[in-house]
Chains A and B, each alone.
Chain A
Amino acid sequence: DSGVTQTPKHLITATGQRVTLRCSPRSGDLSVYWYQQSLDQGLQFLIQYYNGEERAKGNILERFSAQQFPDLHSELNLSSLELGDSALYFCASSTGLNTEAFFGQGTRLTVV
């Protein structure tokens, strides 16, 4: 157990809908990262937050957004969902910027 908690574990929704994925980082970790793992694209970095501020942005679609709250948990919002958004979404956290990132077990999103 990495100490990073992601909810829900599984999510099935219809095209066009909006969903929110939640991540609770390890206690004391300030940095949160979101990744998408799909069969087509593999593991891709989406976005990073550090102490509430956006730190780095990767291949994140405009339909997707994220935020990190004062208690340091983070949410990834996915809207206008398409079939191609079906994937495993991972959250990772680290204490700081130059420390190892620990991954959660992921949220499997299925868009039907």
Chain B
Amino acid sequence: AQSVTQPDIHITVSEGASLELRCNYSYGATPYLFWYVQSPGQGLQLLLKYFSGDTLVQGIKGFEAEFKRSQSSFNLRKPSVHWSDAAEYFCAVGARWGGSQGNLIFGKGTKLSVKP
């Protein structure tokens, strides 16, 4: 069955430090992969997505993610975190049964706190 695992429930980093949020997926074929961010009281905003091609994808707000098929991973990175990046981050895989970019299986999320 398709699934997404985000092993870190909560991460705290200092402002200006680098960030890596982990995501592992289970999928029988090449997956469609997404990272979303949810700020308190807000909906989800798409940061970036991977469908095919270059395994390093660039997103908004200075984020990037790398697809590693051998590790079934799609980790999110940012070289220098800003206080405004404090939020909850969700990794998602496109559901095979849906066929639409909105049919998503989400991980449980990683809450990011930023220390001044």
Using CB atoms and an 8 Å cutoff, list the residues of chain A in contact with chain B.
2, 4, 31, 33, 42-45, 48, 50, 55-56, 58, 90, 92-94, 97-106
Bound-state Cα–Cα, A45 to B103, Å: 7
Interface of B is mostly: loop
A103 pairs with B43, CB closer than 8 A: yes
Interface of A is mostly: strand
Residue in A2, A92, A106 whose CB lies within 8 Å of B102: A92
Bound-state Cα–Cα, A105 to B97, Å: 26
B101 pairs with A103, CB closer than 8 A: no
Residue of A45, A90, A92 ringed by the most chain B CB atoms within 10 A: A45
Residue in B95, B101, B105 whose CB lies within 8 Å of A94: B101
Bound-state Cα–Cα, A58 to B49, Å: 22
Residues of chain A contacted by B92 (CB below 8 angstroms): 43
Interface string of B55-82 (1 = CB under 8 A from A): 0000000000000000000000000000
Bound-state Cα–Cα, A45 to B90, Å: 14
